[in-house]
Amino acid sequence: MQEKHHPIKTCKRFNTPFHAHELTFSCLNRRPFLSQTKPCLFLIESIIMAKSKHHFALWAYVFMPEHIHLLIWPNEEAYSISAIMHSIKQSTSRKAFIYLRKNNPAGLKHFVTGQKNTPYRFWMDGSGYDRNIFSNEAIKSSIDYIHNNPVKRGLVSAPGDWQWSSYKDWAGIGTGLMPIDMINIPLL
């Protein structure tokens, strides 16, 4: 059987100092891998580790069943969005596959790629979506979009009802499952 090769969509990253970045990446074939608690906890651990390694502030987030949105602010002038995304995605995948191999080997069938060199994949192949944000209006709009994503999809009736979000931090009604860095945010 011949291995299928799918073209990888490439995108140009702009690692521009003093720009925030709205990042989006999706699970393999847009499957709802993040509808379970364990993968979401692996994702939280991976984001926290990437923050420490790559020195960025996390301003907003939402984990949807099949994709995530992050709004980040690199704390250093020289940075790589590609490296940040790679750290988050690779760490989450590794943790998920270690867990599955140990606790539910049959569950690996949901992650099969059909590719010889990469038999399993958690995230879609490619780099995901990255949008540079440099105005206060765009930052506010991005935060609102991120927090309203579960409502728009009909998963909850109000943004505060979705546990995998930074909405409660922003609304001042509690804290999410991951700390939000309220530094350098021009809205405050």
List of domains in the chain: 20-171 (3.30.70.1290)
Whole-number Å distance between alpha carbons of 161 and 150: 9
Q: What is the pLDDT of residues 72-93, one digit of tens each?
A: 999 988 899 999 999 999 999 9
- Polymer length in residues for the chain: 188
Kindly tell me the sign of the dihedral angle through the C-alpha atoms of 57, 46, 66, 79: positive
pLDDT < 70 regions, the chain: 1-17, 127, 188
What is the structure's pLDDT at 183? 74
| SS3 category, 178 | coil
What is the structure's pLDDT at 14? 60
What is the structure's pLDDT at 185? 83
What is the structure's pLDDT at 127? 63
